[in-house]
Each structure stands twice: as C-alpha cells, then as structure tokens.
C-alpha cells in the first residue's frame, strides 16, 4: 500500500503504440504496483517490436498545457519523465516544473534499445541548461550516462566518477541510479548502482545490486519500466535505497516471467500485465 493511497504519479513521456515502452509501459507498471498514474505526452512515435519508424514531438506549449492541467487538479507527488524529444520541450518542462515540490525521476531517453534516435540534436545541451536542475533522481543506462557527462565509462570506477559528475553539477539531484546492462565487464552479471547524496553534498553512499544477465533475448521498454517501478516503490516506501532494491528485484522477476512469453516479432515487450506486484 502506498503511504498516501491518493498520491498520483504523473508520467511525462513519449507514446509507444505497440505498448512496450513510453507512457504505455509506465502506466502498466504503476498499475501493477498499486499506484494511480496519469500521463502527459511529449512525442508520438510510430513503432512496433521490429523498430522505430519515426517520432513527432508535440508542440512544447501543448506539453505545458497537459502538465499544468493535471498539476492544478490531481495530488501528484511524483513525476517520472522519459522521452523528452527536443530542446523546446525540455525548456517548457523546466519552466512548468519550477514550482513542483515533489520527486522528479528522470530516465534520460536519447535513443531506443535498438539504437534508433529518440531525440533531436540539440536536446542534450537543453537538458543541461534547463531540465536537469529540476530533477531529484536520474536513472541513465551506461550509454546515456556517457553522453550526458562526456565521460567514457568502460568500467565500474569510471561509471562511479561519471555519476559523481552529475551529482556535483546539479544540487537538486539526490540519487543517481545507473543500469549496468551495457557494461560488458562481466558477461554473466549485470551491476546496477545507486549513489545517494547525504546532507553534506560530498558525503555519498554507494549501493550495488548484481543480478544474472538474460542471454539470447532482447527486451524493449526495460528503461521505462525500471524508472516507473522505482517511482512507484518510492511512493510506497519514501526511501531511495529501499525503492532501488525493490525495483531491481521487480525487474528480475518481470524479465524471468517475460522470457516465457513471446509477444513481439523482434524486440520482446515485457509481460508486465501478468505480474503481481
């Protein structure tokens, strides 16, 4: 049960009409984990499990209007941001979220798991200039972490340094979670890492979760699902560390369940609808 059962999570992300990623993945995850979720759309995409055909950003003013309309009505305690798409939307979100006092969890989507771009060229500098200063938790994968920090991350030590760079630069960021799937240091194990900022900015705690790598099957929507599960577990516990370990465990169970079930032709969507939180 959520600490406040009336609290609402708002996903601000792209739409994946094939249901594996984006707002569709977020709402399924919130629902299976007992959280009421809303969704404001930043971009439409045309895609299926074979790949992304194209994406179309929504006018930034209309993204603002969606978010504002929800925030002026519903008791939103947590916002989860996924695909932003372009610099205009990043700037608009930064403005509309300036007065939001809850948690803002950001999964910095730049490209699809299959490699197709999901952002326009100028997005990264707009994230740095505008949106990142609003964020309280960021959940990059290794590739996104490298792109955001311009710091190569071939091993765990370099990953940790890049995570510290993000925390140094943005005082609002309380927690950085790096999903280690792309780190090839160990073939059989994935290492996810949480770094938490304590009251004194330089005093940080590191937590590691290692779990088995699933081989021979490529999943779609894992980044979105991870960040929305973390959002839901943080709503339940109010604690970053507990939410992190619960999310890693949830993802392991979900992936184990999803390998049994082939929904897509190519990239497998997760079978979130079959899992009990």
Contact residues for ligand PLP, defined by CB under 6 A: 13-14, 16, 21-22, 45, 47, 52, 82-83, 109, 112-113, 118, 220-224
Q: How many CB atoms lie within 10 A of CB 236?
A: 20
Cβ 43 to ligand PLP shortest distance, Å: 7
Cβ 226 to ligand PLP shortest distance, Å: 7
Cβ 28 to ligand PLP shortest distance, Å: 12
Cβ 4 to ligand PLP shortest distance, Å: 27
- Residue number, 115 or 216, with CB nearest to ligand PLP: 115
Cβ 39 to ligand PLP shortest distance, Å: 11
- Residue number, 180 or 223, with CB nearest to ligand PLP: 223
| C-alpha span between 48 and 20 (Å, rounded) | 9
Work out the angle at residue 27's Cα, subtended by the Cα atoms of residues 22 and 32, and round it to the nearest 5 degrees: 130
- Residue number, 159 or 227, with CB nearest to ligand PLP: 227
Under 8 Å between Cβ of 39 and 6 = no
For 160, phi then psi, to 5°, come to: -60, -40
- Residue number, 79 or 224, with CB nearest to ligand PLP: 224
Q: What is the dihedral of CA 178, 129, 42, 1, to 10 degrees?
A: 50
Residue 196's DSSP bridge partners are 175, 205
Cβ 224 to ligand PLP shortest distance, Å: 4
The sign one gets for the Cα dihedral 187, 111, 65, 90 is positive
Packing angle, helices 222-237 and 22-32, rounded to 10: 40
Nearest to 18 by CA among 266, 215, 217: 266
| C-alpha span between 255 and 11 (Å, rounded) | 22
- Residue number, 93 or 196, with CB nearest to ligand PLP: 93
- Residue number, 57 or 102, with CB nearest to ligand PLP: 57
Nearest to 145 by CA among 135, 155, 159, 133: 159
């Amino acid at each position: 049960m959520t600490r406040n059962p009336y609290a609402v999570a708002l996903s601000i992300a792209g739409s994946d009409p094939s249901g594996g990623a984006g707002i569709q993945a977020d709402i399924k995850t919130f629902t299976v984990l007992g959280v009421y979720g809303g969704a404001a759309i930043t971009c439409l995409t045309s895609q299926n499990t074979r790949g992304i055909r194209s994406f179309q950003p929504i006018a930034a003013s209309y993204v603002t209007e969606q978010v504002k309309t929800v925030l002026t009505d519903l008791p939103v305690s947590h916002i989860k941001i996924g695909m932003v798409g372009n610099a205009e939307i990043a700037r608009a979100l930064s403005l509309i979220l300036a007065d939001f006092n809850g948690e803002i969890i950001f999964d910095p989507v730049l490209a699809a798991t299959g490699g197709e771009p999901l952002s326009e060229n100028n997005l990264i500098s707009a994230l740095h200039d505008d949106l990142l200063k609003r964020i309280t938790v960021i959940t990059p994968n290794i590739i996104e972490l490298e792109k955001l920090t311009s710091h190569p991350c071939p091993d765990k030590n370099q990953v940790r340094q890049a995570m510290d760079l993000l925390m140094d630069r943005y005082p609002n960021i309380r927690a950085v979670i790096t999903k280690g799937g792309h780190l090839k240091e160990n073939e059989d194990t994935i290492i996810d890492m949480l770094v938490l900022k304590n009251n004194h900015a330089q005093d940080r705690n590191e937590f590691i979760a290692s779990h088995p790598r699933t081989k021979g099957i490529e999943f779609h929507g894992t980044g979105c699902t991870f960040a929305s599960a973390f959002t839901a577990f943080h709503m339940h516990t109010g604690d970053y560390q507990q939410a992190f370990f619960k999310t890693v465990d949830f993802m392991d169970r979900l992936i184990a369940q999803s390998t049994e079930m082939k929904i897509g032709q190519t990239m497998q969507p997760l079978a979130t609808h079959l899992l009990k939180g």
